[in-house]
Amino acid sequence: MMLYESTRGKGDVIPSAEAIKKGIASDGGLYVPEGFVRLSMDEIKALVPMSYQERAKYILRGYLDDFTQEELADCVDKAYNTRKFSSADIAPVVLMNSSLNILELWHGPTCAFKDMALQILPHFLVKAMRKTGEKDEIVILVATSGDTGKAALEGFADVEGTRIIVFYPDGGVSEVQKRQMVTQEGGNVLVFGVEGNFDDTQTGVKQIFTDESLIKVMAEKGLKFSSANSINWGRLVPQIVYYFSAYADMVKQGRISFGEKINFVVPTGNFGNILAGYYAMRMGLPVNRMVCASNDNKVLTDFIHSGVYDRRRDFVRTISPSMDILISSNLERLLYELSGRDPERVSDWMARLRNEGYYDIGPSALRLLNEHFWGGWSSQEETLKTIECVYDEYGYVCDTHTAVGIDVYDKYVITTGDLTPTVMVSTASPFKFNASVCKALSMDDSDDEFELLKKLSEKTGLPIPEGLKGLEDKPVRHGRVCRRDEMKNVVMEALGL
């Protein structure tokens, strides 16, 4: 059986269901598989004629081998279907021009790539709880700056045995994002605004999570907290699937010959998405380079160039907000590999980051890093310019996060001359970040985001995605805004305690 160990070496070694249930290891580390599942070239070839769902079942079973095939099939079928996704291909690869292919990961219900993981995680979690003898109902608590909250709500809505409570900073999310959340349907969902910014909201949620007296009262009622954050193995593993799927589609469409290596370009924040691509490569997928694209918060670009991870810098609020991150949590899993799976070195680097604000991985680990990764960044001006150029030249409309990736890919080709066939990973629908996209396309300025959705649709001829359509007319189901110091009471009331 595949077992999972902590990147810091001290936690228990446990099967996947336990790792998914626990989320983070007790020593503060992240769970990683003891070894990579290897796929032979024949196995990879066998993926080519398969549907996305079949590919998912095939890849997942190597890592989640304590789940039965029926359980995995049930999770996959509930997550990836045309009731939830606007494309029957789930994660289609479309052609932008003769050298660039776009993997669109935003056909899910919330129009951003978080759906790829958060549509399936709730099903993994419920089965993992049952499998490990847990009888309690799961309470998911989320603090969100926008995207994750809605994706988690959609994923957990009406999933049996779970409840979800989401807090967002009132005034700290866009009008569209807020509307998406406060109109959420489902019998087990609750959403609250918090007076304050995202940090206040997140601190409040963290305190509730670790409130011993509350946890005790909950246990008496058969309730237990769990988390859906991006370091959970159950969120990372479904992301490996679409790298294999994209490769299979490239072969199927005749864009590459089977066995040929390709590059992936990934707009990166917490390092979860790109790490899944690296895992796919370690499993045998023919990958030449992973290109890591950042915005002004270019900690990762600097890290890939120097081997020094330095968070001692100002945080910049950009037009690609889902990449505005200075501490990329999932990077720890890559460090584990770069250190030769040495938990002491990883613990040391993480302690330095916490205490001094930076760490240096040294020349040999840096050499390993540069074998497979290239890093670059795009300024906000360059990002807007890219949206405009891509639309003018190819008629393709991309969102701000994807545009960061396309701009960095241009820089990659100019710097390296590498013309390997490349898949650009696109992480959000242009409608999701419509204000910046409209600005880039020099359209009428309007403060009304709902009006802009219509205008963008008229200009580009693309339909407004289902999840964003008619939002302004949907009834508000969760209108309450609370103070930071009321959050615990709000949770207790919501749970009937």
Ligand X SMILES: *Cc1c(COP(=O)(O)O)cnc(C)c1O
- Residues of this chain that interact with ligand X (CB under 6 A) are 112-114, 147, 230, 267-273, 322-323, 401, 427-428
Task: Report the residue number, 283 or 293, with the smaller CB distance to ligand X.
Answer: 293
**Amino acid, single-letter form, for residue 322:** S
Q: Which is nearer to ligand X, 267 or 343 (CB)?
A: 267
CB of 242 to ligand X, least distance (A): 12
Distance of CA 74 to the CA centre of its chain: 22
Among residues 184 and 330, whose Cβ is nearest to ligand X?
A: 330
* Least Cβ distance, residue 329 to ligand X (angstroms): 8
Q: Which is nearer to ligand X, 101 or 294 (CB)?
A: 294
376, 406 Cβ separation under 8 angstroms? no
CB 267, min distance to ligand X, A: 5
Taking the C-alpha atoms of residue 30 and residue 394, their distance in angstroms, rounded to an integer, is 41
Which of 454, 492, 14 lies closest to 233 in space, CA to CA?
14
What contacts 372, CB < 8 A, 6 or more positions away? Answer: 278, 281, 287, 289, 290
Instruction: Give the nearest distance from C-beta 120 to ligand X in angstroms.
Output: 15
Please state, in angstroms and rounded to a whole number, the distance separating the CA atoms of residues 300 and 338: 15
Q: Which candidate, 397, 458, 388, 393, places its Cα nearest to that of 426? A: 397
The tokens of 223 are what?
């309730």
Asked if 192 and 181 touch (Cβ cutoff 8 Å), the reply is no
Q: CA–CA separation, 148 vs 21, rounded Å?
A: 19
Catalytic residue among 22, 114, 127, 150: 114
Q: 175, 180, 113: which is closest to 153 by C-alpha?
A: 180
Let me know the angle formed at the C-alpha of 85 by 80 and 86, rounded to the nearest 5 degrees: 150
Q: List the 14-15 sheet strands across, edge first.
A: 14-15, 3-6, 31-33
Lookup: tokens for 2: 């595949």
Beta strand pairing call for 162-170 and 137-143: parallel
User: What b-and-e string marks burial along 274-295, b requiring 16 or more CB atoms within 10 Å of the CB?
Assistant: bbbbbbbbbbbbebbbbbbbbb
Query: What's the min distance (Å) between Cβ of 72 and ligand X?
Result: 23
Q: Which is nearer to ligand X, 113 or 409 (CB)?
A: 113
Q: Is 114 an annotated catalytic residue?
A: yes
**Residue among 148 and 347 whose Cβ is closer to ligand X:** 148
Least distance (Å) from ligand X to the CB of residue 397?
15
* Least separation in angstroms between CB 235 and ligand X: 9
Token code pair at residue 173? 């999310």
Q: Which amino acid appears at position 456 of this protein? A: L
Looking at the Cβ atoms of 80 and 271, the one nearer to ligand X is 271
| The one-letter amino acid at 490 | V
Provide the CB-side half-sphere exposure for 276 (13 A, CA). 30
Instruction: List residues with catalytic annotation.
Output: 114
